[in-house]
Amino acid sequence: MWSFACTAFELATGDMLFAPKDGNGYGEDEDHLALMMELLGKMPRKIATGGARSKDYFDRHGDLKMIRRLKYWPLERLLTDKYKFLEAEAREFADFFCPMLAFAPERRPTAQQCLQHPWLNLGTQNNGYHIEAQMRNLHIKG
């Protein structure tokens, strides 16, 4: 579901959800973790400290070792500020999208549950308004 969410974001915005880079004193992997937490909130300590390479990136409290200041940017705000979604569109997309990015895999919806989500059926309501809105937000980069 995580990969599907990343693909859905890219289709909706034209940008990769997470595009990590090496920085001053930290590598691409730690930047990737930081980008995830800036969008989704702090990673649960159990997950942050429970991996085979957790000690490379996290301290015992579950905080990143090298990137200490995160700039949190919730998805709805990202969609409205950077991608110019209308607030209702951003809220509807985030409601569909964010559960697929739960840090704990067991908390993510199944594909079947996603297919039942109202966001996928919004285009059949309101005379196609939502399909038009979704298509307006679809960018194809060449």
- Residues in the chain, pLDDT under 50: 127-128
Q: How many domains does the chain have?
A: 1
Per-residue pLDDT at 127 = 45
Assigned token pair, 55: 């000690």
Q: Name the CA radius of gyration of the chain, rounded.
A: 17
Q: What is the CATH classification number for the domain harbouring 67?
A: 1.10.510.10
- Quick check: pTM over 0.85? no
In-domain check, residue 96: yes
pLDDT in tens, 75-93: 999 999 999 999 999 999 9
Q: What is the domain range of residue 13?
A: 2-137
In-domain check, residue 142: no
Per-residue pLDDT at 45 = 96
